[in-house]
Amino acid sequence: MLNAIVRCALLLGLAAPVAASDCTARDFLGLTLPDSPGRPAIAIALETAYPGLYVDEGQGNVHMPDGSTVLPLGGVTGRDPAQRLDSPTIAEQFFYTYPLAFDLGPRQVPWTDPGRLRNPAFFEALYYSTQAEAAADMRRVTYAPTGTRFVLGDRTCAATQLDAALRDIAGQGIDYSRFFRNVGGSFNWRRIAGTDRLSAHSFGIALDLNADLGGYWRWSGAAPGAAQRYDNQIPEGIVAALERYGFVWGGKWHHFDGMHFEYRPELILHARLSGDRA
Ligand SMILES: [Zn+2]
């Protein structure tokens, strides 16, 4: 029903970008998944994650929440993993299912990086195409026990979701302060090291905890596709709270980035729809 309304609004050109004032924290592990028999999990995940977005699987298109941008959903190509990582289709963003369990086994399979595949056109349409536009939309979110500040945006409610996750973490009664000292940062308009692709930090949807405790595959000296060994120090309580509010963790990636969390609720929802209910 809601989907039909969104579709009508899009057809009539009535859809508007979601404003910051519309943000209310959502629990992506607990919310009821739409009952949409016959629709692909990718479509349900994207539409639930990003209100105003509509997937027309018949035409193979994604109508973005801005109400005007239409992008090809694309398929899963037979390219090698490095090429797929460099320029994934929107469908290929779901190529690796994000493991909801606190299990670092799946990441040992080379190139299993659920969340590291990002279609540039999708992210620019969802977020920003210039640094100035992004910077104007950012706000501070604070982890109260240490006063640590992060800067994220609310274009898709990432800042609101982070605030809810940090309150959850603070409420666990565990001293996590060392993970929130010397944090690696949050909003930062930049390219990913070693690539031409914009980092998720450019869009105000990512944060890095204490870099000394995170672990990063490039610093480990591993070659691409051969980063099996990762000695994790990030506690499950932090990871689980952030996942609940829509953030995936780079510690579950083959090319591990243990300090990095990124707002990708579609991947959490897709994992649930795919039957991985931790
Ligand atoms: Zn990061």
Rounded distance from Cα 79 to ligand 1 centre (Å)? 26
Residue 11 has pLDDT above 60, yes or no: no
Rounded distance from Cα 68 to ligand 1 centre (Å)? 30
| pLDDT grade for 197, boundaries at 50, 70 and 90 | confident
Helix axes 41-49, 265-273, angle to 10 degrees: 140
Q: List the one residue out of 131, 135, 180 whose CA is nearest residue 153.
A: 135
| pLDDT grade for 276, boundaries at 50, 70 and 90 | low
The chain-wide mean pLDDT, for the chain, equals: 91
Distance of alpha carbon 267 from alpha carbon 75, whole angstroms = 17
Average pLDDT over residues 55-60: 96
Rounded distance from Cα 252 to ligand 1 centre (Å)? 13
Rounded distance from Cα 107 to ligand 1 centre (Å)? 18
Residue 1 has pLDDT above 80, yes or no: no
Average pLDDT over residues 247-258: 97
| pLDDT grade for 10, boundaries at 50, 70 and 90 | very low
Rounded distance from Cα 184 to ligand 1 centre (Å)? 7
Domain ranges of the chain: 2-125, 128-264
Rounded distance from Cα 265 to ligand 1 centre (Å)? 17
